[in-house]
Amino acid sequence: MTSKSAKPHLTREHLHELLRKMLLIRHFEEKCAELYSAQKIHGFLHLYIGEEAVAVGCVEALEPDDAVVATYREHGQALARGISSGAVMAEMYGKQEGCSRGRGGSMHIFDADTRFYGGNAIVGGGLPLAVGLALADKMQGLDRVTACFFGDGAVAEGEFHESLNLAALWDLPVLFICENNLYAMGTALTLTESETDIHLKAASYGMPARQVDGMDVVEVEAVAREAVSEIREGKGPYFLECRTYRFRAHSMFDAQLYRDKAEVEEWQEKGPVVRFTKWLQDSGNIHESDLTEIEASVAAEIDSAVAFAEAGTWEPVEDLTRDVYAPGGTS
């Protein structure tokens, strides 16, 4: 892979790839919801639908050696990062062919090959890990960036403030990405934060912090590239607040009593997929045949992921205590 530049190359191929990734996440998750109803997927399932531009745009700015730390709503980051959709789907099924051998499920996707460090289901819990990964890189003289995704809910946690302070204090190469979808589960940001412009909090720690339209994949990518480029110059951490919106319920158990349908519809109209598609069409960057081809390729990939998960096998119960400790360790 070639080195990423500070600016995106808006070639047709690249634009089509951005669309394809967002559509893959969108349709993959629609399939997940369906499979949840069909009781193929259990436990918690948090859908990212509506927020695809954030993961796709930010991950575009990363090199293969960089690390990603994400949250329990991380299917989008995982797919954008290039973890095989089959392995992610098999994980949701709980099969041992899943990317975490079925030990993690939807909320705990891990992948060593792409340096994907989870899938953390404690709000704010991933931020200190990201700081530590970046500290290790800095101490070892490695030119790597750690991208840390979290929601607006995490901003209320002490770990958010502790981590931002540490990263800024020690000039660590962390890209903090706040996916501000305006609700911490079912409680509006305005009900929980005295300062709802989250990037201002980050700026108070002495790091560059910007607010981005998280529904615009091109803008997210452009800003993320600038941020990563500055981080690589050794300027320390960078903070992006991506304003976005979750179209679906928080999880599969959420009646959404806390927000109006009109509000959801309003955001859906400026959704990342519909808006980007329209822009591509209006600007002559995509033809109907291209769209059909992309949709077909995404559908085929998802079919193949489901088939992979279906064909997957259950880890033998005898292996239950494997990997509690390293091989040779005792419990």
For residue 65, the minimal CB distance to other proteins (Å) is: 12
Residue at 212: amino acid letter: V
Please give the angle made by the CA atoms of 192, 198 and 201, to the nearest 5 degrees.
105
Pairing type for strands 183-184 and 187-188 reads antiparallel
For residues 39 and 331, which CB has a smaller minimum distance to other proteins in the complex?
A: 331
For residue 139, the minimal CB distance to other proteins (Å) is: 6
3-state secondary structure (DSSP) of residue 68: strand
To the nearest 10°, report the CA torsion of 246, 17, 118, 256.
Answer: 10
List the beta bridge partners of residue 177: 149, 240
3-state secondary structure (DSSP) of residue 149: strand
Output DSSP code: residue 93: H
Q: Nearest-CA neighbor of 302 among 19, 13, 25, 17?
A: 25
For residue 265, the minimal CB distance to other proteins (Å) is: 37
Are 225 and 7 in contact by the 8 Å Cβ rule? The answer is yes
For residue 136, the minimal CB distance to other proteins (Å) is: 3
- Taking the C-alpha atoms of residue 42 and residue 29, their distance in angstroms, rounded to an integer, is 14
For residues 91 and 241, which CB has a smaller minimum distance to other proteins in the complex?
A: 91
For residues 165 and 229, which CB has a smaller minimum distance to other proteins in the complex?
A: 165
For residue 72, the minimal CB distance to other proteins (Å) is: 12
Q: Which residues bind other proteins (CB under 8 A)?
A: 67, 98-104, 108, 110-112, 117-120, 122, 125, 127-137, 139-140, 158-159, 162-163, 165-166, 169, 322-326, 329-331
List the beta bridge partners of residue 297: none
- Taking the C-alpha atoms of residue 145 and residue 126, their distance in angstroms, rounded to an integer, is 15
List the beta bridge partners of residue 243: 180, 213
For residues 27 and 108, which CB has a smaller minimum distance to other proteins in the complex?
A: 108
For residue 146, the minimal CB distance to other proteins (Å) is: 8
For residues 288 and 318, which CB has a smaller minimum distance to other proteins in the complex?
A: 318
For residues 67 and 305, which CB has a smaller minimum distance to other proteins in the complex?
A: 67
For residues 15 and 228, which CB has a smaller minimum distance to other proteins in the complex?
A: 228
- Taking the C-alpha atoms of residue 193 and residue 129, their distance in angstroms, rounded to an integer, is 24
For residues 262 and 324, which CB has a smaller minimum distance to other proteins in the complex?
A: 324
For residue 19, the minimal CB distance to other proteins (Å) is: 31
For residue 117, the minimal CB distance to other proteins (Å) is: 7
Are 202 and 154 in contact by the 8 Å Cβ rule? The answer is no
